[in-house]
Structures are given as structure tokens and as C-alpha cells.
Amino acid sequence: MSRLACLLICAALVTPAYAGLFDDLEARRQIAELRAELKQTQEALTRRVDGATQNQLDFSNQAETLRTSVARLTGQIEVLSNSLDAAHKRQQDFYVDLDNRLRKLEAVATTATAPAEAKSDPQAEMRDYEIALGHFRTGKFRESQTSFESFIAQHAKSGLLPNAHYWLGSSLYQQKQYAKAATIFAQVAATWPTDPRTPDALLAQANALLEVKDDKGAIAVLETLVEKYPASSAAETARARLKALAPKKRR
């Protein structure tokens, strides 16, 4: 066999081996590329999942913070509402207690002066007064107004008339009938200037005038209160109120 023939036979045998080797390398390259692409995809997916998880955690934290804030504000509102109700109740109790003490003083004074004219029916008078005051004490201001108006009409000579007028004005005030309330309070001061209830009536009249935006009228009443009843507790409140209203007085 010639040398050329041998070379041709060897080339024929080697070519398929090189071809197989080439195919194997190409497959490995493609696999490597696919693995790299898969890794990148997995990393990107992991980052997206981590980001979504973090966002969910942030949202949960924000929601929990908001719930806590809402609960705190709700609690504060409830506390303030209870405090306001309690203050209103204390104010009513204070005035009712003051009224009871004033009535006792009036009873003593009436006994000491020994009035010549006896009351027609003292039990009925006290009963009607207590009913009217009971309505006010329980917040039934419309009923309280009606009862005190009836008391004033039926017991025109009662020693409790200053108190009855004061509570009538207070009943009107609680119903936001400020103009009518101011008129009744002014009547107390004009009719019974020496009665222990008068300083409180003047202060209440000023409050009612402020509610109807009559600042000048309220200032005049407060000044009268301080001038005529300087030692009363109502006068102390009036002085503080006048300081607050001083800018309006200069207008």
C-alpha cells in the first residue's frame, strides 16, 4: 500500500473523532451558558422575592403603627370625654349643693326675722321647688324650665324666688336660649341685689351675653359684678374674664 493511501485512511479515521470532540465541547458550552442564565434568573427572582417580602414587612409595620396610633387617639378622646362629663357633673353638683346651703341660710334668716305673714302651704312650695331642681340635676332642662316657671307663678311671695329665677335662667342657658337666660339672670340682680345668689347671676348673665356675641354688654356686666361684689368668688372669675376680654373692650 502506498504512503498516500495510508495517510488517507488515517485521516478518515481521525475526522469523526475530532467531530465528536467538537460536538461535546459545544454542548458543554451551551450547558454552561444555560446554567449561567439560570443562575442569573434565580438571583433576579430571589431579589424580587426578597424585595416583596421586605415591602410586606414594611407595610405590616406601618399598619401596626397606624393601629397603635388610632388606639391611642381613641383612648385619649375617651378620657377627655369622660373628663368633660365629669366636670359638667361636678359643676351641677356644686351649684345644687350651694343652692341647698343658701336655702338653709335663708330658712334661718326667715325664722330670725319672724315674718308676720305665714306661707299658704310651705310643704307644697318646697315640694314644687325640689321637683324643679331635681329635673335640672338630672339634665332634664326643658322640664326644669317649665317647673321653675310654674313655681314662680304659683309662689309669688316665696323666699326661694331668687333661687328659682337663677335656676330658670340656668335651664334656659343649658338649652342654648342665651338671650332669654341673660334676661332672667339680669332680673335676679335687679330684683334681689343683696341676695347671695346675685353675684353668680351676674356672672351667668355675662356668659350668656358672650354666647350671643354681645361682648360689650358682657364686659359691662362683669365690671358691675367686680364693683358691687368685689369679695365674692364670682368676682374673682369676673376679673380673669375681663383680662381675657380686654382687647375686645378697646375696639
Q: Which of 9-13, 41-45, 53-57, 173-177 has the highest mean pLDDT?
A: 173-177
d(CA 131, CA 27): 106
Q: For residues 84 and 161, which has the higher predicted lDDT (pLDDT)?
A: 161
Identify the H or E element spanning 204: helix 198-211
Task: Quickly count: other Cβ atoms within 10 Å of residue 222's Cβ.
Answer: 26
DSSP 8-state class, residue 119: P
The CATH 1.25.40.10 domain(s) of the chain lie at 176-251
CATH T-level fold of 62-112+120-175: 1.25.40
CATH for 176-251, options being 1.25.40.10, 2.30.110.10, 1.10.357.10, 3.20.20.70: 1.25.40.10
Do residues 148 and 132 lie in contact, with contact meaning Cβ atoms separated by under 8 Å? yes
Average pLDDT score, the chain: 78
Q: Nearest to residue 170, comparing CAs of 227, 72, 242, 99?
A: 99
- Of 40 and 105, the structure prediction assigns the larger pLDDT to 40
Average pLDDT over residues 39-61: 75
Q: Which value, in Å, is the radius of gyration of the alpha carbons in the chain? A: 46
pLDDT at 57: 67
Which pTM value belongs to this model?
0.56
What number of other Cβ atoms are within 10 A of residue 149's Cβ?
A: 16
